[in-house]
A and B are shown apart, each in its own frame.
Chain A
């Protein structure tokens, strides 16, 4: 199995590092040709407006949506990746998204960098809390009925699943934590 990491902008190297430390074969995905070689895809953190434009111009947007509709591409999105997977995005200057998950996301819901924070969260079914980073994070404000909540912080879902699509508003990869990736790869 080859896991692709969308490598247009953002912290894709951190995701590649985690996967490689787990012994997974990886590929940096920048074109539809790259995408055709992978079995799963990770959309990293970064700036969702920048990644959205690059998804469109590279032809990857259409290619990703086609693969997901065909049921052949499980995806894990983190932070900006959550925004890009969402059907609905609120907040100013919302980017055009892949519209694959039935969730509503508020961009930069917590504020500027001064409101970024580290927090312990617990994934359902696991007893071990993970110390993760929320960096100018989005907030999931609504989830559709087919969306399963895997972790919460306060009153908000921060890690959700809809079929083979996973979305986490936090960064575990910057802390060297592989639990989120492991869950995605096992599914």
Chain B
């Protein structure tokens, strides 16, 4: 979410932040993070120009179709993927599952996604991310969720969208909601700002920083339902700083070609002629789902 450009884009003085993790997130900007379920897919993703891979056992559309409890991946799979690629490796843990996160940190991956795509483990709390050296990315559907996650120590935010649907509407919704809520902060009086911080359980210092800078203090990607180069370009134009693609690549008819096209579209999101070329002859996208037909809305987790 690029707004004004002061010399230091983010407030680095605020306490208890994983600044090294936030810096790694900056290096991912303008890039595509791809879900992969094995080392072979990870290599395809790297060769297509992914800026990182997300290691998981089943892509969201399969989790959705097969049901059952979705958990952290087998460490063996993660190690195989780490050995296969040179780009950052991310992996998912269940919301609130600190033990899974400790395991991933011990494996020395690069980033943990505390993700609603897996079955939540804690009905009350997210992980206290301050106690980790490894950085976390967390999903959000609103400014308030984003700020609570940042208060807990998240080094990066992504919109939740609705994973595994190939339907971009929820990613657009969450991006627009967050942007609108940031804009609306400008008109609030100091007293109102204080009361809303209390009501939403977010720190006032953080809220003041967002109001002043008119952006979240950490890098913000989009996720959930992105399936085509045009989807990626749509969200980059809205102000996303990069894109997560889950099922959209390896559930498409030609994963290599689709992956490459989404990488190019994310870099050249303003170039309509280029986007037309990139969208040509992909053989279709993954099969999509209407949000109304879903049994499980992962975004509500």
By a beta-carbon cutoff of 8 Å, the part of chain A in contact with chain B is 7-14, 16-18, 20-21, 30-31, 45-47, 49-50, 53-54, 57-58, 79-80, 91-94, 107-108, 111-114, 116-118, 133, 135-136, 171, 174-176, 178
Contacts and interface: CB of A to CB of B under 8 A. Distances in A.
B23 A171 contact: yes
A117 B264 contact: no
A54 B267 contact: yes
B26 A11 contact: yes
A116 B26 contact: no
Interface string B56-82: 000000000000000000000000001
B24 to A, nearest CB: 5
Contacts of A17: 5-9
B108 A111 contact: yes
Given A114-B105, A118-B20, A108 B86 contact: yes
A7 to B, nearest CB: 7
A71 B88 CA distance: 35
Given A58-B268, A113-B134, 18 more contacts: A8-B30, A12-B29, A45-B27, A47-B51, A47-B52, A49-B87, A50-B31, A53-B49, A53-B260, A54-B49, A91-B86, A94-B86, A111-B108, A113-B109, A116-B20, A135-B20, A136-B110, A175-B8
A125 B52 CA distance: 38
B167 to A, nearest CB: 26
A9 B52 CA distance: 12
19 contacts: A8-B30, A9-B30, A9-B49, A9-B51, A10-B29, A11-B26, A30-B271, A45-B27, A46-B30, A46-B51, A49-B49, A92-B86, A93-B46, A111-B108, A112-B109, A112-B110, A133-B19, A133-B23, A174-B26
Given A13-B9, A50-B49, A53-B49, A112 B108 contact: yes
Given A14-B9, A17-B7, A92-B86, A113 B21 contact: yes
Interface in B135-173: 135
B20 A117 contact: yes
Interface of B: 2, 5-9, 12, 19-21, 23-24, 26-31, 46-52, 82, 85-89, 105, 108-111, 133-135, 260, 263-264, 266-268, 271
A81 B266 CA distance: 20
A20 B5 contact: yes
A49 to B, nearest CB: 6
Contacts of B85: 93
Contacts of B7: 17-18, 20-21, 176, 178
A81 to B, nearest CB: 11
A171 B49 CA distance: 22
B79 to A, nearest CB: 12
A10 B9 contact: no
Contacts of A30: 267-268, 271
B46 A49 contact: yes
Given A13-B2, A136-B110, A45 B26 contact: yes
A21 B6 contact: yes
Nearest to A174: B23
Contacts of B87: 47, 49-50
Contacts of B46: 49, 93
A126 B19 CA distance: 26
A128 B24 CA distance: 26
